[in-house]
Amino acid sequence: MSPVFLSTLGLLVQLSVCHLVHEDCCDLTKVPTNIPANSTTIKLNFNRIRNLEACSFLKNKFCTELHLLQNVISDIKLKAFDGLMFLKYLDLSENNIELLKPNTFSALKNCNILLLKDNIISNLQVGVFNGLSKLKHLDLSHNHIVRFTPNVFMPLMNCEILHIEGNLLSALEFGDLHGLKSLDTFALPIYDCVYRTDKKYDESRKKQQNNNSFLFYYLNLWKGIPVLKSAIFSDLSSCTKLFLNRYRIRIIEEKAFVGLHTLKHLALERNQITAINLEWLTPLLSLEEINLQFIFKIKLHGNQSSLALSTLQRLSFCVDINGLGELCQLSNQSAAWPSHPVESKSCS
């Protein structure tokens, strides 16, 4: 038994609720109406649920975990999650969700984890995350997002982990990440096989299969994020890990990393950067590791005396003829760099 506290007319009422797990895997096409009202965990994974209607879980007010993994959900009605006042974990991964309306999750005032990975979401409207002020972990990886709407993340002031890897973003603009002041990890890598071809789709997932086939073609034409613009990360004042791998970045503007004074790990591997200006790095006062593996023919320039990377411990890079290897020697050339040897790792 576990206590649940409700505030009614200023009085604190304690209820005892059993930890009851309700699990259905019977080829359901809609949310069943016979889920026990006192269920604390509801598992409806691996079914064929297509829509979440309004008030689908209205009587399940004690539920803290809702699992809807691998259904074929394409439409979530407004107020679908009404009644889930204690929900902390919501998994909507591997469905056919393409559009999320503003206020879709507004009833989930206590939700900590929201998983939306492996859907076909292409656009996030302002207001879609309204009500999620306690969210700590948001996973949007492996969707079809190409641009963020400015200020879409504003309600997520307590979010610490944001996964958006495996999308085909074409730009990051100032304002796109506004509101993410508590973010600890920002992951933006893309992998060689973003969309899996070995996954077995049944007929009900045919739409997603066709869409993924199109994206394989689009991936060949995709230009990535060629420029990291100034101040795009300025709201990420708590960020310690920034992963920007494989995004075909060619240019990093001088003030791109402004605001990242708590950053410890910076990964830029497998991009197309042609020059390193040391003045990029001046805002990174806590940086411990830089990963520049599989980037070739980089020129090193800028004012070494402007650096203050006394915390740098590890630099991973590829040896090349244009001087990237010199970056490891700066500890011996500049008093502004650490006096202890920087641990370097070559991919050659």
Ordered by where they begin, the domains of the chain are 1-185+197-222 (3.80.10.10), 227-235+243-348 (3.80.10.10)
Q: What is the pLDDT of residue 335?
A: 37
Q: Which residue has the higher pLDDT, 199 or 68?
A: 68
Can you say how many angstroms the Cα of residue 63 is from the centroid of all Cα atoms in its chain?
Answer: 25
What CA–CA distance (Å, rounded) separates 300 from 322?
8
**Do 116 and 95 form a contact (C-beta atoms < 8 A)?**
no
What CA–CA distance (Å, rounded) separates 343 from 311?
12
Q: What is the pLDDT of residue 207?
A: 47
What CA–CA distance (Å, rounded) separates 101 from 326?
51
Q: What is the pLDDT of residue 281?
A: 82
Q: How far apart are the first and last CA of the chain?
A: 58
| Alpha-carbon distance values, 123 to 25, 160, 208, 260, 275 (Å) | 31, 22, 16, 27, 33
Q: How many CB atoms lie within 10 A of CB 334?
A: 16
Q: Model confidence over 327-340: pLDDT tens digits?
A: 444 433 343 444 44
**Do 37 and 57 form a contact (C-beta atoms < 8 A)?**
no
Structure confidence at residue 113 as a pLDDT band (50, 70, 90): very high
Structure confidence at residue 191 as a pLDDT band (50, 70, 90): low
Highest-scoring range by mean pLDDT, 9-13, 104-108, 270-274, 329-333: 104-108
Q: How many CB atoms lie within 10 A of CB 14?
A: 8
Q: What is the pLDDT of residue 12?
A: 37
Tokens 């109406």 found at: 33
